[in-house]
Chains A and B, each alone.
Chain A
Amino acid sequence: MKPWRNPGLWLVLALTVAISVWPALASNKAYTREVSFTILKAVALASSLNILLGYTGYVSFGHIVFYGMGGYVGFYLLDVHNAPLYVAVLAGGLASGLIAFLLGRAILRLRGAYFALATIGINEAARAFIKNFDLFGGPIGMSLNFNVYKSYGGPNQALWIAFISMAALTLVITVVSFLVKTSRFGLGLMAIRENEDAAEVMGVVAPSSKTWAYVLSAIFPGMVGVLFFFKNGNIEPPDAFNLHQSIETIVMVMLGGYGTVLGPVLGSAIYQRLRGLLLVSPLFKNIQLAVAGVLLLIIILFMPAGVVGWLRSRFGALRRVLE
């Protein structure tokens, strides 16, 4: 089936576009823009992670390392070399992809819990390295000179540019996620997820398929990192390599439904709205991460396939629409 004739693709795109255009329609544009940016960032990170976690079945706990590394590389180019934003974003993505390629060759030999542990170790190692890496500002990090925003028409305009870029990037990621899922490459990844040994016997070249899945799932977080820290104006090791954010991304993928295109989009939207409510609630604001943990527990116990997976298995007719 041709991809554009699949209603599943249109549903995912419609949801992403709806999140993106919401600020333009809202009365408090600046506020909704920030909320929407946060959701889009989550959608982008979750959809990228899903290529590895959902399609390939490799649980990366430290996936945020690619967001941090890409963010740092892009930020450095913006700050020190006055590179245009799009160059920084591409460089951030490439850097993360390259790191993933090299790492993947080593750690993708590990399976299950060993792989997950290795990814946490890599994130911690990356943070420790950057803390001691003077070129990137060491433990203090880097701050953008305000003049940088001038070439984008001032800070306010720059915020909109960051937002629109994020929306476009998120749209690209959801399309890529869909194309991967419906391609031969994606079928190979899912075969690896279901049974790696059997997949190899069938002819799936598991080592290189896994590596490319890892690279693909790393490139986009790298680009997202650049956009976020460009908007943020400064970058520090704890923000760039925040393990909490990594785990929250896993929660969003699991909540929506791992291995589906729609799942990470829906999961991110639900989780970020929930988080927004919890953060302003006096009762929950200090324990909102605990809520994420409990949520993950509940999903895995009662709805292991997530919202989309549950809907698909419950209502067979929806299978054509929910990819």
Chain B
Amino acid sequence: MTGQAQTPILQIQAVSKHFGGLQALSNVTFDLPEGQILGLIGPNGAGKTTLFNCINGIYPPEQGHVIFRGRDITGWKPYRVARTGLARTHQIVQPLNELTVLQNVIAGASFGHEHHPLSQAREIADQVLTFVGLAERRDALAAKLNVAQKKRLELARALAARPYLLLLDEVLAGLNPTEIAEMVDVVRAIRDQGVTILIIEHVMHALMNVSDRVIVLDYGEQIAEGSPDEVANDPKVIEAYLGDPKLAQQMMLAE
């Protein structure tokens, strides 16, 4: 693997976070080499989104460190993290409703990592909208989009920042099979452009297909890590997450 020689783009070192009595994350540790797609799975409430929030600064972890491109960004504010070249999408889409689709994406390009002036941001936004297939809707208000389009907008806004690392939080949720297939192609195309991706997903077969490596969280604990095959056959994962061994087979075969 290429990751051995160079420093990983993202290093999560013993990150812990609790909410009251609930241990949302305990001692999560992993490296993400540049250019990979790393899948993050786990049952509801396993701490996946909490981990995202700790990485991009929505709240700081109580213990541990987040190292991004060699810099310790633990506890940085989200806008500062965004400038370093880390973009994310939200599980619940957060469009800027009263702005047009184009304005949403321009905002992503002009405030994110590369911090372009508006005219250049507009060019990037046009390219990104074509790339995710939203070009015809560019002048519509973001509020007027349907769910699938909002998911694409969320992705486009993050992409427009031209990040090194993209955190995708359930971009496939709520989409129909055709839309899922299209979105998976988009995610692959993003990786092919050289963007490293950390992806949370519940649509298993898609995630297993697209990820180079998978990490499994359960009650904030990291219970498995490996290739999609290894993880799907890991008895601990099957017990904790899938419950039913047959489901593991199905999820690999569904595609």
Residue among A197, A199, A201 facing the most chain B CB atoms (10 A cut-off): A201
Chain A interface size range: 20 to 34
Q: Are A204 and B118 in touch, CB under 8 angstroms?
A: no
B63-99 residues at the A interface, CB under 8 angstroms: 77-79, 82-83, 87-88, 90, 94-99
Task: List, in ascending order, chain B residues with CB within 8 A of A39's CB.
Answer: none
Q: Are B106 and A187 in touch, CB under 8 angstroms?
A: yes
**Is A205 in contact with chain B by the CB < 8 A criterion?**
yes
Q: Are A202 and B111 in touch, CB under 8 angstroms?
A: yes
Distance, CA A188 to CA B99, complexed state (A): 11
Q: Are B77 and A200 in touch, CB under 8 angstroms?
A: yes
Q: Are A184 and B78 in touch, CB under 8 angstroms?
A: no
* Set A184, A197, A203: member contacting B94, Cβ < 8 A: A197
Q: Are A194 and B97 in touch, CB under 8 angstroms?
A: yes
Task: List, in ascending order, chain A residues with CB within 8 A of B99's CB.
Answer: 190-191, 194
Residue among B56, B77, B107, B161 facing the most chain A CB atoms (10 A cut-off): B107
**Is B16 in contact with chain A by the CB < 8 A criterion?**
no
- Give chain B nearest CB distance to A257 CB in angstroms: 12
What is the total number of residues of chain B having a CB less than 8 Å from a CB of chain A?
30
- Give chain A nearest CB distance to B157 CB in angstroms: 7
**Is A42 in contact with chain B by the CB < 8 A criterion?**
no
**Is B110 in contact with chain A by the CB < 8 A criterion?**
yes
**Is A6 in contact with chain B by the CB < 8 A criterion?**
no
- Give chain B nearest CB distance to A202 CB in angstroms: 5
* Set B77, B97, B108, B118: member contacting A202, Cβ < 8 A: B108
Residue among A187, A193, A195, A203 facing the most chain B CB atoms (10 A cut-off): A203
Task: List, in ascending order, chain B residues with CB within 8 A of A184's CB.
Answer: 110-111, 117-118, 121
Whether A201 touches B107, Cβ cut-off 8 Å, given contacts A184-B118, A194-B96, is no
**Is B137 in contact with chain A by the CB < 8 A criterion?**
no
Whether A183 touches B112, Cβ cut-off 8 Å, given contacts A194-B96, A201-B88, A203-B83, is no
**Is B213 in contact with chain A by the CB < 8 A criterion?**
no
- Give chain B nearest CB distance to A316 CB in angstroms: 9
Residue among B58, B95, B98 facing the most chain A CB atoms (10 A cut-off): B98
Task: List, in ascending order, chain A residues with CB within 8 A of B90's CB.
Answer: 198, 201
Q: Are B107 and A191 in touch, CB under 8 angstroms?
A: yes
Task: List, in ascending order, chain A residues with CB within 8 A of B97's CB.
Answer: 194-195
Q: Which residue of A lies closest to B115 (CB)?
A: A203
Q: Are A200 and B78 in touch, CB under 8 angstroms?
A: yes
A179-237 residues at the B interface, CB under 8 angstroms: 183-184, 187-188, 190-191, 193-195, 197-206
* Set B83, B96, B161: member contacting A191, Cβ < 8 A: B96
Q: Which residue of A lies closest to B93 (CB)?
A: A198
Task: List, in ascending order, chain A residues with CB within 8 A of B107's CB.
Answer: 187-188, 191, 199, 202, 204
* Set A183, A195, A206: member contacting B79, Cβ < 8 A: A206
Q: Are A201 and B78 in touch, CB under 8 angstroms?
A: yes
- Give chain B nearest CB distance to A200 CB in angstroms: 4
- Give chain B nearest CB distance to A305 CB in angstroms: 9
* Set A194, A199, A204: member contacting B98, Cβ < 8 A: A194
Task: List, in ascending order, chain B residues with CB within 8 A of A191's CB.
Answer: 96, 99, 107, 111
24 CB < 8 A contacts A-B:
A184-B110, A184-B111, A184-B118, A184-B121, A190-B98, A190-B103, A191-B107, A191-B111, A193-B98, A194-B96, A194-B97, A195-B96, A197-B58, A197-B78, A200-B78, A201-B56, A201-B90, A201-B94, A202-B111, A203-B83, A203-B115, A204-B79, A204-B107, A205-B79
Interface on B for A, CB 8 Å cutoff?
56, 58, 77-79, 82-83, 87-88, 90, 94-99, 103, 106-108, 110-113, 115, 117-118, 121, 157, 161
